[in-house]
Structure 1
C-alpha cells in the first residue's frame, strides 16, 4: 500500500491525521529501560523519519512501575501513547495494538534497542512504497553485524534450521525483535495467528510465506543485551510446541492459506504462452518423478529375483503410483487437507493403468524379440517410464487436479 492508496473508506481528515508508521514497544517489567528507550527512539524518529509516526508502549501485565513510566512518557512526549493489557504475552500485545491502529505501516522493536535504529527506515520503506508486505531485521543475513555470545548464536541458528526443515521456511531470522507489516496485510493475516507469546513472529512469517506474500529482509547491526530476561529453555520449548501445532494445522488444511493467498498473495509474473504456475509445477513434478522412478527401479529389481517381469512390474508400479499421487498432490499441486484425497487416488490409479500399459507393453515387445538380461529390461523400463511420466503430468494437471490448477490461475 503506497501513501497514495490508503483504504478508500477512510475520510480525508483521517488520512491526514493518521500516522504512516506506528512503532510498538512491548514491555513487561521494564521500569528501568523503558524511558531511555522511548526517548532515544522518539528523538531518532523526529530527526530521521520523514513521515508522521506514533510510538505505542504496550505494557502486558507488568507488576512494577512500568505502567506509570509509560503513562508519564505519553503525557510529556508528543506522538507517544501507552496501552495496558492485563495478560502477559508479547504476541498478545502486538496483536492487540496492531489490530486497533490506524497507521498504514505497523512495526515493533524490543525495549533494549539491541538493533541499531539506522535500520528502521530501510525496514519500513519497502512497505510504505508497496514493494513488500512484511519486513524483518535479520542478524543472519549477509551484511549484518552481530555481537553476542556463542550460546545464543548456536540457539538462533539451530532454531532457524529447524524451521527450514519442518516448515520449509525461507526467511533467515525469525526471532529478531525488529519487524514491520502493512496494515491491510495485518488485518487479514493476524486473525489466523494463534500464538500469544514469543512464537507469534514465527507463526506470522510462516503464514505470510505460505500465502505468497513478499517478505523484505534488512541486515542489521545487533548487540546482545546481557541483561535479557528471556527464559531461553522455556521459550525454546514453547517454540517447539508451536512448530508442532503449526505443522499439524498446515498439513490438515485447517488454516485457510489458499483463501489468504487469493486475497493477498502476489501472483506470478505472466509469461506469454506459459500457463500460470506451470514452471514451478514442472520442477516439483520432476523432483517427485525422480524419487518415484528410483523407488520403482529398486522395488522392481528386488521383486524380479523371485517373480516374473510382468508381476514385478505390476507390484512395483502400483506401490510407487500411490506414493507418487500423494506426493504430487501435496508438493506439486499444493493440495492441503484430506478433502478429495480418495477421489484423487482413484483417478491416480487410472493414470497408473495407462503407465502400466506403456511399461508392460514395452516389456512384452522386448520379450517377443528375445530373452534379454535384467539390465536391458531396466533400460527399456526407464524409457517407457519417461513417456509414462509425461502422460502422467498432463493427466494430473488437466484432469486429476484440474480444479486446483484453475483456482491458482484465476
Structure 2
C-alpha cells in the first residue's frame, strides 16, 4: 500500500496524513501535530462524529458513515467516534510497531490501525473538526459497505484469537500440578 510505504520512508518523530481533498479544515493542523509532539499521545485523529464537530456532507454519506462507525464501536469495542477521518498523526515508534500487523490495504486500513492501537494500549486523542464534503469521490457505497462489513468481522475474529492467546500466555505458570 502506498500510504504504508510513504510512512515508512518519512523522517521525523511525528508522522501525519491528510486526505488530498483537504476536507478537514487546516486550522486543526496545529492541534493534530501538538497532540503527539506536546501532549504525549501516540495517535491523534480528527473526528467528524463528535457532538462538537461541524460537518457538511450529503445525507446518504452521513447516514452510511454514522452506521459504519456505530458497527465498529459495537463489534470491535472501539471507543472512537470516527475511524476514517483522513486527518491523522502518529508518533513514529508506536506506528511502526503496528503498521505491519494491519492486513487491509484499502478503505479499512485506518479503522484497523486505530482499533489495533486501542487493543495494544496506545494513547489516542480524538478531537472534533470542521469538515466539508470534497465532491468527487472514489467511494462506491454498495461495494464498500459490503467490503468493510466483511473486514469488521475479519478483524473481530483476529482480535478474539489474540485475546485468547494473551489469556493463555498471561496464565503460563499460574498453576502447579503434581
In 2: Cα distance, 1:233 partner to 1:93 partner: 24
Equivalent-residue separation in structure 1 for 2:130 and 2:168 (angstroms): 49
What are the residue-to-residue correspondences of 1:311-330 with 2, within 5 Å?
none
The CA distance in 1 between the partners of 2:130 and 2:54, in whole Å, is 5
**1:44-94: per-residue Cα shift (whole Å, max 9, x none)?**
xxxxxxxxxxxxxxxxxxxxxxxxxxxxxxxxxxxxxxxxxxxxxxxx111
Query: Do structure 1's residue 158 and structure 2's residue 158 form an aligned pair?
Result: no
- 1:90-136 CA-to-partner distances (Å, cap 9, x unmatched) read xx111111112122111111111111000111011020125100011
| Residues 237-282 of structure 1, C-alpha deviations (whole Å, 9 max, x = no match) | 22112111111111112xxxxxxxxxxxxxxxxxxxxxxxxxxxxx
- After superposition, the Cα gap between the structure-2 partners of 1:177 and 1:339, relative to the gap in structure 1 and judged at 3 Å, is closer
Cross-structure match for 1:191: 100
Question: Paired residue for 2:17?
Answer: 108
Corresponding position: 1:242 with 2:70: no
1:175 and 1:234 mapped to 2: Cα distance? Answer: 17
Residue number in structure 2 paired with 1:123: 32
8 Å contact from structure 1 (residues 99, 186) kept in 2:
no
Q: Which has the larger radius of gyration?
A: 1
What secondary structure does 1:336 align onto?
helix
Q: Stretches of 4+ moved more than 4 A in 1?
A: 338-341, 400-404
Q: Which runs of 5+ in 2 are unaligned?
A: none
The superposition leaves residues 167-191 of structure 1 with CA deviations (integer Å, 9 ceiling, x where unpaired) of 1011110111111111111111101
**Higher relative contact order, chain-length normalized (CA < 8 Å, sep 6+):** 2
Q: Please give the secondary structure, in 2, of the residue aligned with 1:181.
A: strand
Q: Does residue 170 of the first structure (1) align with residue 79 of the second (2)? A: yes
Question: Aligned to 2:55, what secondary structure does the other structure show?
Answer: strand
Q: How does 1:16-35 map to 2 (within 5 A)?
A: none
TM superposition shift of 1:339: 7.6
Which of 103, 119, 132 is the matching residue for 1:223? Answer: 132
Confirm whether residue 146 of structure 1 aligns to residue 50 of structure 2: no
CA shift at 1:403, angstroms? 5.5
Q: 3-state DSSP class of the match of 2:164? A: coil
Taking the aligned partners of 2:45 and 2:153, their CA distance within structure 1 comes to 23
- Other structure's SS at 2:165 match: coil
- CA apart distance, 1:226: 2.4
Change (3 A) 1:339 1:132: closer
Give the secondary structure class of the aligned counterpart of 1:240: helix
Tell me, which stretches of 5 or more residues in structure 1 are unaligned? 1-91, 254-334, 342-399, 405-410
> How far apart, CA to CA, are the structure 1 residues paired with 2:34 and 2:173?
38
C-alpha distance in structure 2 between counterparts of 1:224 and 1:111, whole Å: 12
Pair 1:111–1:338, CA change in 2 (3 A): closer
Whether 2:113 is the aligned partner of 1:204: answer: yes
